[in-house]
Amino acid sequence: MQVTVEQLGQISLFSGLDLDRLTQLQIHAVVKQYLRGEIIFHEGDRPW
């Protein structure tokens, strides 16, 4: 599911970004859901 600019703006890490930057970031952002306790990455994993 695609993330909205509004959702990104509510995240404290991104809250100081202007609309143009949030829009640029939105292109790369997706919502993912994980089960409680599910391992989503391991130490040493390469990004992507």
**Domain residue ranges in the chain:** 1-35
* CB burial of residue 22 (10 Å; 0-12, 13-18, 19+): buried
pLDDT of residue 47: 81
CB atoms closer than 10 angstroms to residue 15? 10
pLDDT of residue 8: 96
Query: pTM above 0.75?
Result: no
Mean pLDDT, contiguous 10-residue spans, the chain (48 residues): 94 96 96 95 88
pLDDT of residue 28: 94
